[in-house]
Structure 1
Amino acid sequence: MKTLKKIILLLILIMGFSSYAQTPEQQKMIEKAERMRDSIMNTPEIKAIMKQAGEMEKNKKTSQKVKSISSSTKTIDKYWHNTMASKNNNKLENWKNGTADLVFSYSYDSRKDQLNYVKVGVIKSDGTIELHPTNAVPILQPLNNFKNNNAFYDIHNPDSYHYNNGDAGFKLNSYLLVYQNDQKIGTLTIGNSVKVTRNLLIPGDLYFGDEGYILSWVYVDKPCAVNANENWKGDLSNTGTPLIVETNVVYNLSFKTGWNLVETEVIGTHHFPDAPEEDRSRFKKHEHSIIASIPKDATYFFRAVFND
C-alpha cells in the first residue's frame, strides 16, 4: 500500500505541473515522468496492488450493504419475545425453569409492595401445566362496578352493561402469574393465538383485528350475570390519522358461585394495509361468553417477566 501511495503522489505532481505553462525543458521532464508512470503502472506488482485495492473497496461496500440490510430487518417480534408455548397439549416446549406456581392475583398491598394472590395450579419441572382452582378469593369488587374493573375496555358506553345480582363480589383476570420462590417470573395466558393473547392485555393493542380467542378466569361469591350488546362507529386510530370503523361488542356472562371460565373471541377484521403498522387492522366484533372447560385447541403461552 506504501507503493500505491507513492504512485498516487507522483500522479498528483504530474497533473499539477501539466496545468501550468511549461518551458521545453520542463515539458521534457513531464514526458519522462509520464513514461515512468506508465512503466510503473504496467508492472505485475502494481497491477496486483491495484487489483487488491479494488477488491478491498468492493468488499467494504458489500459489507456495508449487508450490515445495512441486516440491521434494518432484524426486528424483535413482540408477540414471541421471551415467549414459549405448548404444542397441542398442556406442556410448555423447552421449559427449563423447574417447578413453579400458577397464581391468581386479586389485590395489591402497598405497605408490603406486593400482590396478594391465591394459588390455582402448577407448572411441573417438565413443563406440564396443571390447573385446579379451588381456593376462594378473599377480596372482591361488586359486579355492578364492572365498567371500572373490566380489563378489556371495549364498551364505549357504560350504560350498555346490564346486571343481575350486581352486588355480587367479582374478580376477573385474563392471565395467571407464574411465581417461583415468592418471585414473579412471568405470566401465563391461554387461547388459540399468540397475537390475541397479547393484544387483549395491552390497551394500545386492544382494538387490533387479529382473530382468535383468549380465556379469562373469574371468581364470584354468588350467582350473577352481566350482559351487553353495543354497536359502535367511530375513530380507533393509534397514530392520529382517523380510522373510522364499526364494531360490535357482546357480553353474555352468567356466573355460578366460585370459579368460572370466560372466552373472549375476536371475530372479523377491518384491514388498512397502507396505514402504519399499528393501524393496519381493527376488530369487527368481540364476543364474551361462558365456557365449561378449556378447549382442546387451546395453547398455553408463557411470557417471561424479564426484558418485556
Structure 2
Amino acid sequence: MKKLYHILPILLLLIGSQAFAQTPEQQKMIDKALKMRDSIMESLNLEDVQKQADQQQKRVEPDKKSSTKTSPIPTATKSEDKYWKNTLASDKDKKLKNWNKGTADLVFNYAYDSRNDKINYVKVGSIKVDGTIELNPTDKIPVLQPLNNFKNSNNFFDIHNPDAYQYSNEKAGFKLNPYLLVYQNEQQIGILTIGNSAKVTLNLLTPGDLYFGDEGYILSWVYVDEACAIKANENWSGDLSNTGNPIMVETNVVYNLNFNPGWNMVKTEVIGTYEFPNAAEEDRSRYKKHNHTSIASIPNDATYFFRWAIQY
C-alpha cells in the first residue's frame, strides 16, 4: 500500500498535464498513466472495502460472544427396531431361539363369541418346551363365510376394484388367516407368522404398513369346505400416501388361488419396491407387485416369527 501511495502523486502530475499540447511520446505516457491510475484506484477501493468489512466483523464478534450461548450437540438415541421388538425367530430346525415360555398351543381363530367374550378357534399345532414348532392341522372349521365374501374381508386390501375378483364355486365356505394365535392356559400370549422377512410378516398384518415395499413373503392358512378358486389380475395407478402428501405409484396384484377341500396354504409375495427416501416414515416405500399363489407345503427357506401379545 505504501508503494502505491508514493506512485500515485507522480501519475496524477502526468495526467494533469494532458490539458496542454503533448508530443506523441508524452501522450503515450499519459495513456499508460491513466491505465495505471484506474488499476491502482480499483485496488485501493477493494482494500478499503475489505478493511471496512474486517472492522465491522471485529465489532460484531464480541457482541456474538456476549449474547450467544453455545448449544451442546444433542446425543442421538437409537430407535428401537419395531420389526424385532418382542420378537423371536426360528433357526433352520424350526426352533424358536431363546424360547423360554414352556409349551404353548398354536390355534386358528375363526369367529368371535360376543356373548362369552372369547375367540373361537381350533388347535393346529404346538410349540414345545425347547421352542420346536410342530404343525398338523386336521380339525374342521365349523363356521365359514362364502368365498365371494373375500372381496369384503381381504386382509391385504390390495385390490382396488372388487369386480377384479373372479370366483369358482363362489358359495363354498372359506376362511383365511395370515397368522396363527399362540395360546397358553387358555390365554393368548402372542402370534406366529411364517415367511422369509421380519418386515413383510409384520407389514402385512399392520393396517398402516400394508403398502410398504419391503420385499419377501408371508404364508396364510386357508380352510375351505369344497374345491374352489379365486383369480384376479389388477393393474392400478394412483396415490398410496398415508400422510396426505401424494405419492403416485403403479401396482400389479395377482391372485391365482386354487383350493382343495380342507386345509390349504397361500404364499403372498411382495415384489419390487418404490423408494421415497425424503418422505415421512409412513411413506418411505411402496410395493410394485403383490403375487398370491397356492402352495402345497411350507418353503424350505421359511422362518417362524413369534411376537409377544403385548404388541397387539
TM-score by length of 2: 0.76
Counterpart residue number, 1:55: none
Q: Within 5 A, what are the aligned runs for 1:145-164?
A: 145-164=149-168
Structure 1 residue runs of 5 or longer lacking an equivalent are: 1-60
- Counterpart check, 1:165 vs 2:173: no
CA-based RMSD of the aligned residues comes to 1.3
Q: Distance in 2 between matches of 1:173 and 1:96?
A: 26
Counterpart residue number, 1:269: 273
Is the contact between residue 101 and residue 121 of structure 1 (CA under 8 Å) also seen in structure 2? yes
Is the contact between residue 196 and residue 214 of structure 1 (CA under 8 Å) also seen in structure 2? yes
Q: CA deviation at 1:172?
A: 0.1
Q: Distance in 2 between matches of 1:240 and 1:92?
A: 40
Counterpart residue number, 1:245: 249
Is the contact between residue 189 and residue 301 of structure 1 (CA under 8 Å) also seen in structure 2? yes
Task: From the superposition, tell whether residues 307 and 252 of structure 1 become closer, same or farther in structure 2 (CA, over 3 Å).
Answer: closer
Q: Which amino acid aligns with 2:297?
A: S
Runs of at least 4 residues off by over 2 Å = none
Q: CA deviation at 1:297?
A: 0.4
1:292 to 272, 293, 296: 296
Q: CA deviation at 1:215?
A: 0.1
Q: Distance in 2 between matches of 1:121 and 1:184?
A: 14
Q: Distance in 1 between matches of 2:93 and 2:245?
A: 42
Q: Which amino acid aligns with 2:178?
A: S
Structure 2 residue runs of 5 or longer lacking an equivalent are: 1-69
Is the contact between residue 89 and residue 299 of structure 1 (CA under 8 Å) also seen in structure 2? no
Instruction: Show CA shifts across 1:68-123 (max 9, x none).
Output: 41xx4231211111000002231000000000000000000011111000000000
TM-score by length of 1: 0.77
Q: CA deviation at 1:148?
A: 1.1
Partner-residue secondary structure (3-state), 2:152: helix
Q: Within 5 A, what are the aligned runs for 1:111-150?
A: 111-150=115-154
Q: Which amino acid aligns with 1:75?
A: S
Is the contact between residue 165 and residue 224 of structure 1 (CA under 8 Å) also seen in structure 2? yes
1:213 to 211, 217, 220: 217
Partner-residue secondary structure (3-state), 1:204: helix
Counterpart residue number, 1:9: none
Partner-residue secondary structure (3-state), 1:306: helix
Counting matched residue pairs gives 243
Partner-residue secondary structure (3-state), 1:274: coil
Q: Distance in 2 between matches of 1:307 and 1:118?
A: 23
Partner-residue secondary structure (3-state), 1:73: coil
Q: CA deviation at 1:307?
A: 4.7
Counterpart residue number, 1:178: 182
